[in-house]
Amino acid sequence: MALTVWFLFSGCGGRDAELPARYRRLKVPDGLLASAAARTRGRTLFRQHCAICHGVRGDGRGIRSEGLDPAPMDFTNPRWRESVARRRVFYWIRNGVPGTAMPAWRIFDDGETWDLVAYVLSAGQS
Ligand code: HEC
């Protein structure tokens, strides 16, 4: 298990390393991220709060996405899912992405934020 985790995240070390210490130390809940229940909870929140820009399926084609520069990411692209660090996704949702239309989502607690991470990392797979 430890080896698997090391293998999964070794490629993303640089990007985790740039995060503020509090986020670098976050324990990534691998079991939760893989669970259907978390993905379903995340999908419900995503449809309420995020789909307007990111699209109902997370493909970046929400009704408010037109004209956004940069445009919302296509979360259904496996290359995005495979290359992105989990803590990074958590950090972006909590704090927003400077210089883009992506706001900070402080209204969600850690559990809800991880549910959203679980959903965006599985978008397009089910
Ligand atoms: C007002 C439009 C808008 C809303 C609402 C919105 N986003 Fe974003 N989001 C963006 C834009 C624009 C970006 C920057 C381009 C990008 O990185 O996808 C972004 C970036 C992101 C990223 C970083 C992706 C990356 O690899 O760069 C994540 C993750 C994300 N949003 C998740 C969410 C979640 C989860 C919600 C709902 C809680 C949400 N967004 C709501 C517009 C929005």
Q: Are 65 and 53 in contact (CB under 8 A)?
A: yes
Residue 85's identity, in one-letter code, is: A
pLDDT digits (tens, 9 = 90+) for 90-126: 999 999 999 999 999 999 999 999 999 999 999 988 6
Pull the structure tokens for residue 75.
């979360």
To test the pocket of ligand 1, the residue of 45, 46, 54, 115 to mutate (highest count of ligand atoms within 8 Å of its CB) is 54
Per-residue pLDDT at 4 = 52
Percent of the chain surpassing pLDDT 90: 83
Q: Are 41 and 114 in contact (CB under 8 A)?
A: no
102 alpha carbon to ligand 1 midpoint, in Å?
5
Mean pLDDT of 69-95: 95
The band of 61, judged by pLDDT with boundaries at 50, 70 and 90, is: very high
Pull the structure tokens for residue 55.
């699209």
Nearest CA owner, ligand 1 atom 24? 73
Distance CA 53, CA 20 (A): 27
Residue 25's identity, in one-letter code, is: R
Q: Are 9 and 85 in contact (CB under 8 A)?
A: yes
The band of 78, judged by pLDDT with boundaries at 50, 70 and 90, is: very high
Tell whether the model's pLDDT for residue 58 goes beyond 60.
yes
Tell whether the model's pLDDT for residue 44 goes beyond 70.
yes
Tell whether the model's pLDDT for residue 56 goes beyond 60.
yes
To test the pocket of ligand 1, the residue of 57, 94, 97, 122 to mutate (highest count of ligand atoms within 8 Å of its CB) is 97
